[in-house]
Amino acid sequence: MQRLDPAVAYERAVGLAARGRRAILGITGAPAAGKSTYAEQLTAKLVADGHKVALVPMDGYHLAQSVLEELGIADVKGAPHTFDGYGFVAMLSRLKQSADEQIWAPRFDRGIEDSIAASIGIAPDVTLVVTEGNYLLLDQMPWTTIRTLLDQCWYVEVPEQLRHDRLEARHRQFGRSPEEAHARTYGTDEHNARLIAATASAADAIVQLS
């Protein structure tokens, strides 16, 4: 498995953005590995350098909190079945196959813990779409279709203790007690992390972050 430092990864992303037809780059990794921050920073740098790039996170396809509660699965929010996976696949397919359209994607707002429809615009001149999420390489339907739509997919990796510390801090930030944060980090989140880690071998490269 090829390992990339952020500088080399950036040059590879430039190559995707500059090749003349729209490409889709996937960024995946376990919860709190830093994939969202990395994808945001990568997109911002590419845009600042003059490339036409849009970021479309998978989190916009979370099922609504009210739906999760109705279905009785709110306590495992973040597991594969708590997303509209087929909707996400359909969006990626449209981004790849209908590059001449103005397309609008949903965005997940952590402040309200829900998605906001049609809040990310992808203009026809966008040559690279960066998408990030937990299950881009998961070998289960409908997720397995995603790999065929990605030009490249990178797996983000950080030391496990750092990832756990970040995850507990995130849960506390959003109102959970220290005990609840610890239980969630080493319970449901750890189960998801192991599921995601098992997909790393399907990535094109691993990006190591500090």
Give kind and range of the element (H or E) at residue 55. strand 53-55
Give the pLDDT score at 49. Answer: 98
The pLDDT of residue 117 is above 90: yes
156 near 34, Cβ under 8 Å? yes
Give the pLDDT score at 21. Answer: 92
**Three-state secondary structure string covering 160-175:** HHHHHHHHHHHHHHCC
Rg of the Cα trace of the chain? 17
147 near 131, Cβ under 8 Å? no
CA distance 113 to 95: 25
Amino acid occupying residue 8: V
Give the pLDDT score at 176. Answer: 84
The pLDDT of residue 1 is above 80: no
Give the pLDDT score at 174. Answer: 76
Q: First and final CA of the chain: distance in angstroms?
A: 19
Phi and psi at 121, nearest 5°, equal -95, 135
Mean pLDDT score of the chain: 94
Give the pLDDT score at 167. Answer: 85
CA distance 106 to 115: 6
2-22 tens-digit pLDDT: 999 999 999 999 999 999 899
164-178 tens-digit pLDDT: 888 889 888 878 898
**Neighbouring residues of 49: CB distance < 8 A, sequence distance ≥ 6:** 14
Mean local confidence (pLDDT), 60-87:
96
Give kind and range of the element (H or E) at residue 95. helix 85-97
87-115 tens-digit pLDDT: 999 999 999 999 999 999 999 998 888 99
Give the pLDDT score at 44. Answer: 98
